[in-house]
Chains A and B, each alone.
Chain A
Amino acid sequence: MTRIFSTWDPWQELADLQKQMNRLFSSRWPVRREAFPPVNLRAGRDGLVLTAEVPGVKADELDVTIQRDLATIKGRREPEPLQEGQTYTRRERFTEPFARTIQLPFEVDPQQVEARYANGVLTLMLSRPADHKPTRVAVQAG
C-alpha cells in the first residue's frame, strides 16, 4: 500500500461529485441530444415499448426493421420547399436522411410488432417471443 490516506481521497470525492452533476444535468437539463431520432425505451416482462421523436416525418416515409434484438428506424424529412425570394434566417431542424439502430435488452418477435405514428412520435410495441418468456417452474417436494 503506497497510499497513506486511503480512506479519504479528495480527488475521488471531486470525481464522484462531477459524476453526480453530470447525471443530474443529463437527466434534468433540457438539452436535446444530437442522435436523431432521440428514443425512449421501456421494458416489461412480456415486451418493450420503443418511442422515437420524428416530428414532420410522414408515416409512409418511416422504415422500421426488427431483427432479433435490434430495431432500426430509417427515414427522411423533406426540407420546406423554398418559394421565390424565400430565405432561411434560422435553421436548426434536422433535414438529413437518418438511420438509427437501437440495441434492445432482449430478442423480440419480428412477427408481432405494432407500429403507430401520432403527433410526430413513432411508437413500436414489441413482444418477447412466446418461447422466450420466463416461465414459472413448480418445485416438487422431494
Chain B
Amino acid sequence: MRTESPELVNQDYQAAGETERTSSRPVYRPRVDILDTQDAVVLLADLPGVAEDGADVTLEKNVLTIRGSVAPAEDDGLQDVVTEYGIGEFERVFTLTDEIDRSAIEATMKDGVLRVRLPRAREAASRKIDVRAG
C-alpha cells in the first residue's frame, strides 16, 4: 500500500522564452516518463539526435535540469520539403520533492533516450519502509 507519494514535480515555468539561452538555437521541451519505486525515481527523456556524450544532467539544490544538444545538419545544398521537427537544444527542469542521494545519481544515454536514476536518500527510503511495515 502506498502512503505518501514523494515524486518529482514538474515545474511549468520553463516555457521556451524563459529558458536561459546561450545561442539563438530553438529550445525544445522533451517528453518524459517518470517511474517511481521505493528506493529510486527513474526519469526517461526522449532526446532524439543527441549523441551519447551530448546530454547533460545537473542537480542544484532540489532543481534537476536535463539538457541535450543536437548537432546541426551539414549544409548539403538540399531544400527543405517537410519540416515537422526542429533541430536545436532540449531542456527541461524538474523540482525534486524528495531527498535524493546525490552521490549515486546515474545517467545514461542510448538511442536518443536519456535515463536518469535518482536513488532516494537512505534516510528517506528507510522512513518509507517503516511506513509500509506498519
Q: Which of A30, A32, A40, A85 contacts B80 (CB 8 A)?
A: A40
Task: Tell me if A102 is interfacial: C-beta within 8 Å of chain B.
Answer: yes
Please list the residues of chain A having a beta carbon within 8 angstroms of any beta carbon in chain B.
27-30, 32-33, 35, 38-44, 48-49, 53-58, 80, 82-83, 85-94, 102, 105, 119-121
Closest Cβ–Cβ distance, residue B17 to chain A (whole Å): 10
Instruction: Indicate the member of A54, A55, A83, A86 with the most B CB atoms within 10 Å.
Output: A55
Q: Which of B7, B81, B86 contacts A89 (CB 8 A)?
A: B7
Q: Knowing that A88-B33, A105-B81 are A-B contacts, what are 17 other residue pairs whose CB atoms are under 8 Å apart, sorted by A's residue number?
A: A30-B16, A30-B29, A32-B28, A42-B81, A44-B76, A44-B78, A55-B112, A85-B37, A87-B35, A88-B34, A91-B34, A119-B48, A119-B51, A119-B54, A120-B49, A120-B50, A121-B48
Instruction: Tell me the nearest residue of chain A to B84, going by C-beta.
Output: A38
Instruction: Tell me the nearest residue of chain A to B49, going by C-beta.
Output: A121
CA distance A54 to B97 in the complex (A): 31
